Structure 1
Amino acid sequence: MKNILRKYNYRLLLLVGVFLLPTACKKDYFDTQPDNIVSVDEIFANRGQTERWWAGLFTNIPDIWNQPYAFSYSITSDEMDASNWTNPGMNSGAINADATPSDFTALYERIRLATIFLERVDGNQEIQNLANGAEIIKHYKGEARFLRAYYYWKMMKDLGPVVIAPLQSAKPEDDFQIPRSSWDECVEFVLSELALAKADLPVDYYLSGTTTVDGTQVGRINKMIVEALESQILLFNASPLYNGNTELGDFKNYDGKQLISQTYDPAKWDRAAAAAKEAIDIAEANGKHLFRVQNEDPFRAGYLSVRNLFWDGWEEEGIWVRPSSNTWQWEIHSSPRSTQGTAYNGLAVVQQLVDDFRMSSGESIEESDSYTEEAYVAENTDYYVAGTNQMYANREPRFYAYVTFNGAFNPGASKTGANNSRVEFFYTGTSGKSSAPRDWPKTGYTARKNIHPTFSVNPGVNVARPAMLIRLAELYLNYAEALNESSPGNPEVLEYLNRVRERAGLDPLAPGLSQSQLREEIRLERRLELCFEGHRYFDVRRWKIPDEPGSNQGGVFYGMNMDAGTNLSDPAYHERVPAFSRTEWQRRYYFMPYGQNEMDRNKALVQFPGY
């Protein structure tokens, strides 16, 4: 029986892996049913076809590193720019109901397919007759129910309160004129579905009779993932955008039903804190911990820990892991042109994010006496070469792991020849503007996070690795944030915030900070630790700070002067100038619009005000 189970599990991994490939959303099982399988009845009578249907339900799980041409939250927030190649309509003001970036149509399709699966899978006698068939189907159903709930949650993050379809497969004669549920109703619906899913799922998938995780099951949904998602949902639910937000008092259904709560409920923070702690506890009890690299130099240890996390640490820190990830797309667009084979050199980090990284002392650049933009370093270090501007010296370890700047060493494999081991973003430099019409960063910085040191364009070298959709550091920050709001002064706020800081090579914050001071520290920590991973876009919205200095989502964004500089230490390049502009922040950008096609079909559906 153990051998049967292991063979069966290997088969499942292949199915999950196939349907999580980056190309799967273009052509999957539901587009190419075999000619001899002509009905749903026949599909669910056949084990192989049923398993393919189940695997296809995973298809719309996003790949956070498939940037920039998949809709990218990073280039629609104050993290990055890719406007030499693409510029989402929210940046230019062109977003509207006819051109919504939301993938709600595809998600509703996947929700419907999950519903059909839940209705039909129990009738598959071929699976039921396996030695452990009932347990296999139970797990399948838990995963299908989770994915159905998750796809609703994904829509909610983009669209706000959504239309919830009936929990049975629809018939042509059914009434599809369904209004939006309120935000609170949507949250309770999703949480109720997750609770049912959790009851059918294992804590993790272990090799039979052991406590060793079965490596062939990476990507399958388990209890740890469910609780981690619950933490994320309840953190959003307690946040100012959704909790007593009178600014959106005009967001109502046609019958006058309020869609966003107008009354602040502090108990939502209690609930969010409890959910985050439960998610942490179950993860840690099952071996999850912050990934660390040991080194006698604490700074070097911090740097290697945050750099190598994405290829060496996902098994230790990753809670929800997507087994396949298009990191090639990310690496080739982020790496400088001095990379072997010539990368595209254009995912540009904004100056404000560069400035937000602390000094190695933990001070901000404004607080530090050693920070200057008027001098240049005299000697090489492990992170940059002699002649680099002093503004990039003595910064915290994450800065060197996450951002590539003028004078930094190449993040991947360098071309041969003089100066290619270092990055030159100044105008005439090897990765500067003068010799490339599009492949240059408008700000003078590119993203460095999750670029493997062996990455090469030609010959092609791309180390395959999963993507962490939720990791333990996020849960620690979820808990710190929620606890700071629900129980100010609780020592665990500082404890869990400091765990993330210390892993990154920073000294712990000392006790004595006020609630508001800790709130700012937690928000900054999320900005830095989770940058480029799809969080910032939503964080500034749920905190209701998208038009505040330091987190503005519109207007002018700054960088170095890409039109100047003939050498590494040229002061003309190291000048803060406007790099690009976006339309000013508008209230309608809190949510994306439902597509006009859906508005035309469903006359009970109200559009978010402003579209």
Structure 2
Amino acid sequence: MIKRIRQYTIVIVLVTITLVTGCKKNFFDTQPDNQLDIASIFSNREQTEQYWGGLFTAVPDIWDQPYAQLWGAISDELDISNNTDATINAINSGALTTSTTPQHYLNYYVKIRQCAIFLENIDRNQEILALDNGAELIKRYKAEARFLRAYYYWMMVKLYGPVVFQPETVGNPNDNYMIPRTPMDEGIARILSEMDKAYADLPEDYYQSNSAEVDPTQRGRINKMIIAAVKSQILLYHASPLYNGNTDYASFRNYDGTLLFNQVADQSRWGKAAAAAKAAIDLADKNGKSLYKVNHADPFRAAFLSSRDLYWNGWRTEGIWLRTTSALRNWEIRAAPRAIAGTAYNYTAPMQEVIDDFRMANGKDISQDPAYDETGYTTKGSEYYVAGTNNMYVGREARFYAYITFNGSMIPGAPKAGMSRVEFYSTGNSGSKGAPRDWTVTGYTVRKNIHNTFSVSPAVNVARPAMLIRLAELYLNYAEALNESDPGHPDVLKYLNAIRNRAGLSSLDATLSQHEIRESIRMERRIELSFEGHRYFDVRRWKVAGDPGYYQGGNYTGMDMSKGTTLSDPEFHTRTVVLKRTPWDKKYYFMPFGQAEMDRNTQLVPLPGY
């Protein structure tokens, strides 16, 4: 076993040395280079900065769905069953084991080790130190590496629960790598401490010299705003029931008996989370950030454009952490209906349960509004759908039309010649009869973040960064934490209503109970942050994944894709069970480490249930 551990460590060292490429301006998207030894890397400025750039490459791209970022496709948001993926199918079918678990931890541990190597060696670079601002440059590089190391641990904690923390100093093959999991609270404390150290050595943002303009070549670099925003997320999770007094894990201990989850909920954590969220919002405000809004004479149109165009026009205003390279074409081509020019894949499919959660334009749930109707068809078209569209899609809130493509909706990008609408019924232009697998199982596809000029062929793609964190998330973080720590505080509704009002919904009032506001905040996260990688984690941290309205498993419905020959065909517009996933089990709150990882580290206790 010791021999295997040493061999594994040598492999990690070699991987670390060879995956150190990149360039200063494109640090999210580096390419392989020649093998170099550590001395060569850290004696040359260009090679050192390439190594630094390589530290960013494991930062998730939220639009690289559904494979690299598979969270929507394994939650109650999306289905991609018409495009097979072994890992996603294993999770949704209940076949998740230590052999089929996603092995994101392998890449994260490589990056964590690279960060440690960088921190130990960057001060040796005399070429950088000789620059006029060399010492300051190195200080910032080190702070970014320190943050990234902590951030990658956080990414693992969200997925796998308590994880193994490597020694901060770079070891050698003879060291003991039999390391137990770090208890959850201790791990979170270590992550936050490292982020605080990084925060002290970084600017609020990277501005051009003697200017209030952000330097476009430095977008995506870690700054104080980013760290404050990430800390807001961490503290919100740490206050939530999955992390705070989780008695379901009372027996989850290391082999020496160390308890891995605290057993008594600490209510004060919500106050800390609220304070962190407010500090992040205030820092963003100070640096010119605001909710993106489009002015228009028609308030509903303004809400629609604000929600739709946010992803390509609003990132400068609302974006806190930007990923300057993103797999947007992959997202758009998978989500776009076949009515788009070229051959789109047409399979990123929201369930009917998602559709039903979007409110009516008056802010009411569909169950509360007597005007909601699934039996008739509108005789009047609009900017969002054509005449003949089912009434269930009429009179919905603005975000529904910005985020969802449905039968009868306008084509979200550049249309094929002669086409003016999306047809999901069986014989329609995006229906099941027209392609062997490029059709949506549910009768819907995602419209969110498909540019209105997108085309598969000829290829038209509008380049834009991905917003890993945006101001709206911070508003919702603050509202949630404050509602739990200080219910009735006016800021709860102030920040919640800011999100609602931007979407064209009326303000909630203070007559609502704490529980009612809690449910409203959760619904806002469901809708506002839909398909952006939050839902999978939210329902887990709230510990409601087995509850009605949040249930992560079982049967999901949609329209009957096997039926329909016209736009207004009632046979298509029939709620049908289209997906059957494994029933929810508490063991799914976290994912297990792979069996090979536990074989290599015999102190790594298995997750309960696996």
**Normalising by the residue count of structure 1, what TM-score does the alignment of the two structures yield?**
0.95
Does 2:607 align with 1:608?
yes
Displacement, 1:69?
2.5
Question: How many Å separate the matches in 1 of 2:25 and 2:248?
Answer: 44
State the 1:221 CA deviation: 0.4
Question: Aligned pairs, how many?
Answer: 587
Q: Which runs of 5+ in 2 are unaligned?
A: 1-21
Shift of 1:191: 0.1
SS in 2 for 1:408: coil
Aligned partners of 1:597 and 1:462: how far apart in 2? 41
Distance 2:538 2:25 in 1: 30
Task: Map 1:143-182 to 2 at 5 A.
Answer: 143-182=144-183
Deviation per CA, 1:562-598: give whole Å up to 9, x if none. Answer: 0111100011110000011111111111111111111
Give the aligned partner of residue 43 of structure 1. Answer: 41
Counterpart in 2 of 1:439? Answer: 438
Cross-structure match for 1:572: 571
Of 74, 83, 95 in structure 1, the residue corresponding to residue 72 of structure 2 is: 74
CA deviations on 1:88-108 (whole Å, 9 max, x unpaired) are 121011211122113101110
Q: Distance in 2 between matches of 1:304 and 1:412?
A: 15
For structure 1, which runs of at least 5 residues remain unmatched after alignment?
A: 1-13
The answer to whether the Cα contact below 8 Å between 2:61 and 2:69 also exists between their aligned partners in 1 is no
* Cα shift at 1:15: 2.0
Question: Could you tell me how far 1:17 is from its partner in structure 2?
Answer: 5.0
Distance 2:475 2:132 in 1: 40
Whether the 8 Å CA contact 2:25–2:218 is kept in 1: the answer is: no
User: 2:63 touches 2:69 (CA, 8 Å); kept in 1?
Assistant: no
Equivalent residue, structure 1, for 2:3? none
CA positional deviation for 1:505:
1.0
Report Cα offsets for 1:239-260 as digits up to 9, x if no partner. 0111111112121111221111
**Which residue does 1:535 correspond to in 2?**
534
Distance 1:492 1:69 in 2: 38
Distance 2:205 2:557 in 1: 46
Counterpart of 1:10 in structure 2 is none
SS of 1:578's partner is strand
- AA partner of residue 197 (structure 1): A
User: Are 1:71 and 1:101, in contact at CA under 8 Å, matched by a contact in 2?
Assistant: no
Q: Structure 1: which 4+ aligned runs deviate by more than 6 Å? A: none
- Which residue number corresponds to residue 64 of structure 1? 62
Matched, 1:20 2:32: no
CA distance in 1 between counterparts of 2:507 and 2:40 reads 60
Question: Do structure 1's residue 33 and structure 2's residue 41 form an aligned pair?
Answer: no
Q: Take 1:16 and 1:98, find their aligned partners in 2: how far apart are those partners?
A: 38
CA offset at residue 16 of structure 1? 4.7
Q: Distance in 2 between the 1:496 and 1:18 partners?
A: 35
Alignment of 1:123-522 (within 5 A): 123-417=124-418, 420-522=419-521
- Could you tell me whether the CA contact under 8 Å between 1:556 and 1:581 is conserved in 2? yes
SS at match of 2:322: strand
For the 8 Å contact 1:17–1:323, the answer to whether it is kept is no
Q: Secondary structure at the match of 2:579?
A: strand
What CA distance in whole angstroms lies between the structure 2 residues aligned with 1:545 and 1:467?
29
Deviations 1:362-392 (A, max 9, x none): 0000000100001110111010000000000
1:19 is displaced (CA, Å) by 3.9
Counterpart of 1:143, as a letter, is E
Distance 2:575 2:431 in 1: 16
Q: Is the 8 A contact 1:64 1:469 kept in 2?
A: yes
For 2:74 and 2:438, locate their aligned partners in 1 and report how far apart those are by CA, in whole Å.
Answer: 19
Amino acid corresponding to residue 70 of structure 1 in structure 2:
A
Secondary structure in 1 aligned to 2:434?
coil
Q: Does structure 2 conserve the Cα–Cα contact (< 8 Å) formed by 1:16 and 1:219?
A: no
- Decide whether the 8 Å contact of 2:292 with 2:317 is kept in 1: yes
d(CA) in 2 for partners of 1:102, 1:539:
21
- Contact 1:291-1:305 within 8 A present in 2 as well: yes
**Is the CA contact 1:194–1:226 (under 8 Å) kept in the aligned structure 2?**
yes
CA distance in 2, matches of 1:170, 1:503: 51
**Structure 1 residues 114-163: Cα deviation after superposition (integer angstroms, max 9, x where no partner):** 00100110110000000111111111011000100000000000001110
Cα distance change on mapping 1:16 and 1:397 into 2, 3 Å: farther
Q: AA paired with 1:445?
A: Y
CA deviation map 1:299-341 (0-9, x unaligned): 0000000100000000110000000111100000000001001
1:70 and 1:254 map into 2 onto residues whose CA distance is 33
Matches within 5 A, 1:107-118: 107-118=108-119
SS of the aligned residue for 1:48 comes to helix
**What code does the residue aligned with 1:593 have?**
P
Question: In 1, distance between residues paired with 2:523 and 2:251?
Answer: 32
Asked if structure 2 preserves the Cα contact closer than 8 Å seen for 1:102 and 1:592, the reply is no
Aligned residue identity for 2:319: G
Structure 1 residues 16 and 232: CA distance shift in structure 2, 3 A: farther
Residues 74-97 of structure 1 show CA distances to partners (whole Å, capped at 9, x for unaligned) of 001000000111351210112111
Deviations 1:185-224 (A, max 9, x none): 1100000000000011110001112222111111100000
Q: What do you get for the CA RMSD once the two structures are aligned?
A: 1.2
Whole-angstrom CA distance in 1 between matches of 2:222 and 2:24: 11
Asked if residue 584 in structure 1 is aligned to residue 583 in structure 2, the reply is: yes
Checking the alignment, whether the CA contact within 8 Å between 1:554 and 1:584 is kept in structure 2 is yes
Measure the CA separation in 2 of the matches of 1:209 and 1:286.
15
Confirm whether residue 84 of structure 1 aligns to residue 92 of structure 2.
Answer: no
Q: SS at the partner of 1:98?
A: coil
CA distance in 2, matches of 1:99, 1:564: 36
Distance 2:322 2:216 in 1: 12
Supply the distance in 2 between the matched residues of 1:19 and 1:289 (Cα, whole angstroms).
Answer: 26
Look up the match of 1:6. Answer: none
CA distance in 2, matches of 1:319, 1:466: 11
3-state SS of the aligned residue for 2:204? coil
Q: For 2:24 and 2:275, how far apart are their aligned partners in 1?
A: 32
**Letter of the 1:68 counterpart:** P
Q: Is the 8 A contact 1:65 1:327 kept in 2?
A: yes
Deviations, residues 28-84 of structure 1 (Å, cap 9, x unaligned): 44xx325xx4x2012101111100000000010111111122241000100000011
- Contact 1:347-1:446 within 8 A present in 2 as well: yes
- TM-fit CA distance, 1:20: 1.8
Counterpart Cα distance in 1 of 2:572 and 2:99? 41
Aligned amino acid, residue 427 of structure 1:
S
Preserved contact between residue 102 and residue 158 of structure 1 (Cα < 8 Å): no
Which residue number corresponds to residue 53 of structure 1?
51
Q: Secondary structure at the match of 1:320?
A: strand
Partner SS, residue 434 of structure 1: helix
The 8 Å contact of residues 293 and 502 in structure 2, kept in 1 or not, is answered as yes
Task: Report sequence identity in percent.
Answer: 57
Give the distance between the partners of 1:481 and 1:62, measured in 2 at CA: 25
Deviations 1:521-545 (A, max 9, x none): 0000000000000000000000011
Q: For 2:469, what is the secondary structure of its paired residue? A: strand
Distance in 2 (alpha carbons) for counterparts of 1:86 and 1:363: 37
Residues 553 and 71 of structure 1: is their aligned pair in 2 closer, same or farther, counting only changes over 3 Å? same
